[in-house]
Structure 1
Amino acid sequence: MTDDQGFWDTLGALIPLGLAGAFSWLPVTGLVVLLLAGSGMTRVWAFVAGRVFGLALITVAFVAGARALPAPRSTPAMEGPLVAGAEVTAGLALVVVGVVAWLRRHRARERDAPAWQRRLAEASVPAVFLTSVVVDLQPKGLVLGLASGVVVRAGSMPVPESVLAVVLYLAVAASSVLLPLVAAYAAPERTSRWLRATQDWLVVHGSVLTAVVAAAVGVVLVVDGLARF
């Protein structure tokens, strides 16, 4: 099944989107806050589960919507303009997200921690789960969901291959919360020191990272979409 060229082309386009999702400072910051708070791993697991659920919900919704688009013609050079247009639109939206994040980078550094971060460690487990899901519903997350749906649709793959590609994309996008969780179990003391350094780094550079990654992936999508016309 995975010998099909369309699968590997689609996966090659999804991996950068997954990395853009992984390099999102809001969910990483939330996880770091919970791990450093020492309020129990139940809340940490709830936050990670909410992150994965939110990513899956957004991605599956957009993939299902994109698959409803008219099928592209048999020749790759004549793929449907709806797919190309949607990819260009998603790319431009990501560029806008990146520009806005860049313009707000100084404001993000100077303001106090958002209320949801301050209350997260003391929130109930369901509230932590819902907070993590809501964090996924930020503009960048929605645009990445749209872009992933368009990429999967453009691949014109059978359903099993589409499911596999989406699962791999979700694994990459969620890796920024899954890997620290594994590290916290494997080496708690060393991970704690690393998390404190990460928290300080995110305060200074988190918004810049979001801006650069979102804009870069957006440009790639625009170029790829234009090539499909």
Structure 2
Amino acid sequence: MKYKIFSLFALLLLTSFSSLPSKNFETKITTIKANNSLSKVESIYLNLKSNACALPSFDCFSIALEGFNKFKEKGIFKKNILTLIDFSKSSNSKRLWIIDLDSDEVLLNTYVAHGRNTGNEFADKFSNKAESFQSSLGFYATAEIYNGKHGSSLKLDGLQKGMNDNARERAVVMHGADYVSEKFIKNNKRLGRSLGCPAVPEELNDKIITLIKDKSCLFIYHPSRKDKFI
């Protein structure tokens, strides 16, 4: 009888210990929490209204959205418009997106040039230095409009020290250019290049400037610096 009672007690004790959370269980909880924190970004991305265009990569979008939110909290951005440029893609592809974060809609997807010394068809060299004729990566705030040699142009303020904060000094602006066109690609096997500005098609220049002016976010991405953006 004593043996049976002891055995029953031992069984109950073992059962109670086995019900305690294991390290694997804790790991799963941590993973679930991490996935839940990402789910908002994933949800926005998966529900973007693309208007039949290809979407930016998830890596590009998620970094851009995280940076947008951080700078927005500081009061730097006044509009919920996010412009993405993915310089990992061929210049022969439409690698600029303008996204309305209020409606989760892609408003425009088009071509954009990189700097003359940044690469030929593909961008692979970047600089924050004057006279480098290279593109600068990172987060920008759109600033004032002016009329320059390329017509209506939009000044940009680089928000990241050492990466793009010399944008004004370098006159890195958004403007239209005739070398940003499918005709130029057809004749030259690649898009034309700027002196470092994110130049866009002439016929879309005014529309783009109107959409993104007045302190909206512009993010220029390349995976080689993905750990430096935020």
TM-score normalized by structure 2? 0.25
Larger radius of gyration: 2
Query: Greater helix share, 1 or 2?
Result: 1
Tell me which of the two structures has the higher relative contact order, counting C-alpha pairs closer than 8 angstroms and 6 or more residues apart.
1
Please give the TM-score of this superposition, normalised by the length of structure 1. Answer: 0.25
